[in-house]
Structure 1
């Protein structure tokens, strides 16, 4: 965080000093009871209903408490704590957010999408970090509550920022855009997820489209030209710049001649009447889409396409994202336990269509969560996808995933089908089937520690 003088913060928020000194600097900012207090010189927003541990705050001092609690409560502060009382904590919070974001005239990228957003964000971060100091959200920790520490992670020397937007409910993306004020927005794709919070697919698409509202009319929107649900987002009122990426039809950043290589994907990039050869680690057509979105973003941020391609070549594929490993008995294990939704399952199956040719293919599929009232529908659709393919064995793990197995059986899959409540006993079934010609795909939710541990147990 760029250090700020407490005196200036008091003036900005028009608050009343109740305790301590204003002649020192804050270097961190948190919202009490939402974030851990781990540093000294921290600005702490305290809600009226929060119960304050003054001793803990004082121990990390000097600390600055901003609150709209009654004066008699705030006067319990100890000597190492400065207290400024404001009329409204929410007004003070947003005033501070707007002020701090306004200190930086840098490209800020915000990403959303059903699949690929973490990988695309990591690609952008990796490419840009080779040239500039960059601030970014950590891994897939994209909850709205993380937005304040992520924003204040922008420092004096930061030249760019890239943030992944989490979506659990309607309004989440709008909230995060109000904090980050992105100059570039990306929608990787819109499949099916979080229907419990958004009620149905239409609500989910509308929630994703909040990123368009979050961009100013000077902003740039980067979207997947091939994605049918993304096409449903109304853009007629958006006056900013729109950049498309895709494989199938017309797109500003288009990939052609896509090939699988030993380490990932290779393709020809067509952009601005020029053609480039691109290599990216990680298997699957979806990885090509991720790379296209990343290159479009870094070009818009001010880097050349040549530099983007050069840096992308050494990008390290993320763990548990269709991660290939040598497994027991000489088999190939594909660990895809990072996330689980219908779109990512389909992407994984498409990779198997190529990688699994002339191989014995075994699928381990776990529950898909957060599908609301459409849970059975989408599990059955996956069962249909499996039944159409040359799969040798299907193993489902979890009560929800049973629908996958039952639907595959109903559609007369050629696969040998096994249904398990949990991973207990799965290895016994696999042992007699696995050999050097076997590919095992393990696809489950990141919340399932047992499936993650089981995937690890199969690797050499």
Structure 2
């Protein structure tokens, strides 16, 4: 974090010092009392005041609160600044701190590929630059605020992954973290239960675009219908397209599977480059194209990026290919699940199981609201189109997929509707051998940890 003077902080937050300590410079920011360290700024956001034992041993620090009288008796070198509303003061502080930084920032969102694309951009840039980025998939407000406040004068790039969370979340992110460049991986079917319809969900995602200043590039997927619609209200010169379509500024073509990943031809500014990403599926090529577009726009030459991309470490549980039971091959895609990612996973299973037996094990999709039945039926049709040798579903909602696949023409004797992971495991153990490739496609929201460990023969 950049060092900040307490006097500047008081002025910026329109605060009043009600208890004065000797601390004049702030070195870090936290929102939990247990994380307070010497020289720390602590925003007291919790509804309950800190317990007495939590404040007795506090080091020299500054506390921001709208209710100083609710604090327990304080000892030591502690400054207390009273503000009108603590949470509003915290958001104002973040926006102020962002303005103090000249660091280029990239904000990434979408229904799929957010974490992979963010990790790719980070990986492509970190070889020669100091990068701060969202950790893993911790893409909600508090975690990203921590990323921002850890940036300083030595930070070259900031990369944020933003999920939609609840309504208003992305608007709050725009207020506190902009200006930034925006990358939307694509909009699919997700969180409908929370937003009421696919259209409203897409509109919620589009709110992030308000954080892009007039001079900030916006990276959009040329194969995403929603992104095409977003583009109509954006200045054409601000948009940079990536994908496999002809209009893409960073276009992938001649895409092929290999034993280690995907090869493709990248076309940009009428030049062609041979590229490789050590991950499987057309969607991984799209993720790579988006990451290349962003990193190249940030100033790294394409040849360097493509060389770096060859060593990108695939993410765990994102189409991770490992050894499975009885010598089988396991494709673990159990991080998250929606119709777009299921279609991509089924395509990878089809390709990786050529000449072998294939088993697709699918769990239910969450937060679909009134679209639940229709969306599961749509996935049933995707299953039929990709024709795995056997289909195993887990849960009653997932059984809708199985029944639809049979209705479309999949052989009923190759379809198994299981009520529990334990029953599915019994079937997999029966089918798995060294000539079998098994896809596990479930959501991290469901408790399949033990199930996956058994399939990987880790227990």
TM-score normalised by the chain length of structure 2: 0.94
Q: 1:351 to 1:113 in 2, by over 3 A?
A: same
Aligned residue number for residue 311 of structure 1:
308
Distance apart, 1:175 and its partner CA: 1.4
1:162 and 2:172 are equivalent in the alignment: no
For 1:379 and 1:195, the matched residues in 2 are separated by: 13
Distance apart, 1:239 and its partner CA: 7.3
Distance apart, 1:413 and its partner CA: 0.9
Worse-matched range after superposition: 437-446 or 16-25: 16-25
For 1:351 and 1:136, the matched residues in 2 are separated by: 29
Deviations 1:52-108 (A, max 9, x none): 325413424222111121x53358433342101123334422332222111211110
- 5 Å-filtered alignment, 1:26-65, equals 26-32=26-32, 37=35, 39-47=37-45, 49-65=47-63
Residue ranges of structure 1 left out of the alignment (5+ in a row): none
1:267 and 1:279 in contact (8 A); partners too:
yes
For 1:354 and 1:383, the matched residues in 2 are separated by: 19
Aligned residue number for residue 438 of structure 2:
440
1:228 and 2:225 are equivalent in the alignment: yes
For 1:444 and 1:458, the matched residues in 2 are separated by: 13
Worse-matched range after superposition: 46-55 or 317-326: 46-55
Aligned residue number for residue 3 of structure 2:
3
Could you list the structure 1 runs, at least 4 aligned residues long, displaced by more than 6 angstroms after superposition. Answer: none
Q: Select the residue among 331, 335, 338 that pairs with 2:335.
A: 338
- Structure with the higher helix share, 1 or 2: 2
For 1:389 and 1:246, the matched residues in 2 are separated by: 22
SS of equivalent residue, structure 2 residue 172: helix
Q: 1:3 to 1:366 in 2, by over 3 A?
A: same
Q: Select the residue among 161, 175, 178 that pairs with 2:172.
A: 175
Aligned residue number for residue 393 of structure 2:
396
1:19 and 1:75 in contact (8 A); partners too:
no
2:21 and 2:77 in contact (8 A); partners too:
no
For 2:43 and 2:301, the matched residues in 1 are separated by: 41
Aligned residue number for residue 282 of structure 1:
279
1:376 and 2:373 are equivalent in the alignment: yes
Q: Select the residue among 259, 262, 265 that pairs with 1:265.
A: 262
SS of equivalent residue, structure 2 residue 431: coil
Deviations 1:433-454 (A, max 9, x none): 222221100000112232x332
1:300 and 2:297 are equivalent in the alignment: yes
Distance apart, 1:176 and its partner CA: 1.3
Q: Select the residue among 107, 120, 125 that pairs with 1:123.
A: 120
Worse-matched range after superposition: 89-98 or 60-69: 89-98
Q: 1:438 to 1:239 in 2, by over 3 A?
A: closer
Q: 1:24 to 1:442 in 2, by over 3 A?
A: same
For 2:41 and 2:197, the matched residues in 1 are separated by: 40
For 1:296 and 1:22, the matched residues in 2 are separated by: 48
Provide the aligned length of Structure 1 versus Structure 2.
Answer: 456
SS of equivalent residue, structure 1 residue 126: helix
Q: 1:182 to 1:122 in 2, by over 3 A?
A: farther
1:195 and 2:192 are equivalent in the alignment: yes
1:206 and 2:183 are equivalent in the alignment: no
Worse-matched range after superposition: 315-324 or 431-440: 431-440
Q: 1:430 to 1:59 in 2, by over 3 A?
A: same
For 2:389 and 2:377, the matched residues in 1 are separated by: 19
1:359 and 1:437 in contact (8 A); partners too:
yes
SS of equivalent residue, structure 1 residue 400: helix
Distance apart, 1:278 and its partner CA: 0.8
SS of equivalent residue, structure 1 residue 388: helix
Q: 1:162 to 1:138 in 2, by over 3 A?
A: same
Aligned residue number for residue 19 of structure 1:
19
SS of equivalent residue, structure 1 residue 233: helix
Q: 1:277 to 1:67 in 2, by over 3 A?
A: same
For 1:240 and 1:46, the matched residues in 2 are separated by: 43
For 1:31 and 1:431, the matched residues in 2 are separated by: 48
1:390 and 1:414 in contact (8 A); partners too:
no
For 1:166 and 1:433, the matched residues in 2 are separated by: 38
Aligned residue number for residue 97 of structure 2:
100
For 2:421 and 2:156, the matched residues in 1 are separated by: 47
2:350 and 2:358 in contact (8 A); partners too:
no
SS of equivalent residue, structure 2 residue 396: coil
2:23 and 2:79 in contact (8 A); partners too:
no
Q: 1:374 to 1:299 in 2, by over 3 A?
A: same
Aligned residue number for residue 216 of structure 2:
219
1:329 and 1:434 in contact (8 A); partners too:
yes
1:66 and 2:64 are equivalent in the alignment: yes
SS of equivalent residue, structure 1 residue 424: helix
Q: 1:19 to 1:441 in 2, by over 3 A?
A: same
